[in-house]
Amino acid sequence: MFGIGHIELPSTDFKVTKSFFGKIFNWKFEEVPEWKYMLFYAPYKPNGGFYLVKKMPKRHTILPYIEVDSIEKTLKAIKKYKGKVLINKTPIADMGWWAKFETPDGCPLALWESAKK
């Protein structure tokens, strides 16, 4: 009942954002022009939206993790679509692995791959 229900991320260009996240993570989008906002629908919750910014904020206080089946495969796609890898696949005890990347417009995000049990 008290899980995260919606998350918002900055974007400097909705067209680039839609292409990047659509191709890599298969998210769907709905633009809301009057709010300068674009909703996204991920295969699993939480869903959220992108708000338009003129310039990407220099610092972030929350780091969202996107769950993936393969960090290696996802990092290859991120590079292919002009994202930047900040931290390569790194183990976290026996729980799984994480990596950090930036979108083409500089938004920092992370990936999570759970260890197979």
34-47 pLDDT, tens digit each: 999 999 999 988 99
What is the Cα–Cα distance from 117 to 63, expressed in whole angstroms?
26
pLDDT of residue 24: 97
Low-confidence spans in the chain with pLDDT less than 70: 1-2
* Overall number of domains in the chain: 1
Per-residue buried b or exposed e for 14-51, using 16+ beta carbons within 10 Å of the residue's own CB: beebbebbeebbebebeeeeeeebbbbebeeeeebbbe
DSSP β-ladder status, 47-52 and 6-11: parallel
> Any idea what the CATH number is for the domain that residue 84 is in?
3.10.180.10
Judge whether 70 lies within some domain: yes
Judge whether 60 lies within some domain: yes
106 lies in which domain range?
6-114
pLDDT of residue 60: 74
Judge whether 1 lies within some domain: no
